[in-house]
Structure 1
């Protein structure tokens, strides 16, 4: 299983447009093969700063998702909104352990 942590920050004046963009990306991504989880959260203390949490069945599934034209279009749109960072870090996970 692959778990990824991503970030994206836009100027506060573009936060509404970024929310709409990321909402669409999340909804579409959840339909992609191998997507187990795709959640976008906004930092409550920093409007326009988003955290993207993903879980994929395999790294191949995640790479296939990233290669889709819609993902490239979304990245270009984010840059058009003045994205100051766009990061994705993937981790290969093992057995899940419920803590609470």
Structure 2
């Protein structure tokens, strides 16, 4: 993957039972801070699971790997990891993906 290709990230947060509201607050703060301050952010959206595994997911899209790395070293991510450190039942699970282009490009990739 070239450094200038978009990068998609899926981050899963599994809360300690009873800590869901605190994690949601931390995610809301992180989303707002990321949207305001992080260069190259094309998408940074938090979701709560409503079926299946309990927890939260952030779906991210960055203009480049360099932008993602800057986000990982930035204040918004540092605050988020601090805010959720004692609220997670499992370690933060982060997956970095690239699209498999097929069909309609608008429908087949984030």
Specify the TM-score bucket, using the shorter chain as the normaliser.
0.7 to 0.9
Match of residue 43 from structure 1? 49
- Is residue 89 from structure 1 mapped to residue 99 from structure 2 by the alignment? no
Q: Whose Rg is larger? A: 2
What root-mean-square deviation, in Å, do the aligned CA atoms of Structure 1 and Structure 2 show?
2.3
Q: Point out the more displaced range, 52-61 or 37-46.
A: 37-46
Q: CA deviation at 1:87?
A: 1.6
Q: TM-score, normalised by structure 1?
A: 0.84
Q: TM-score, normalised by structure 2?
A: 0.78
Q: Point out the more displaced range, 44-53 or 34-43.
A: 44-53
Residues of 2 paired with 1:35 and 1:83: CA distance?
28
- Is residue 76 from structure 1 mapped to residue 85 from structure 2 by the alignment? no
Match of residue 3 from structure 2? none
Gaps of 5+ in 2: 1-5
> Which structure has the highest strand share of the two?
1
Gaps of 5+ in 1: none
Residues of 2 paired with 1:5 and 1:74: CA distance?
15
Residues of 1 paired with 2:24 and 2:54: CA distance?
8
Query: Structure 2 matches for 1:1-100, cutoff 5 A?
Result: 1-31=6-36, 32-45=38-51, 49-93=55-99, 97-99=105-107
User: In the superposition, relative to structure 1, how do residues 83 and 77 fare at CA in structure 2: closer, same or farther (>3 Å)?
Assistant: farther
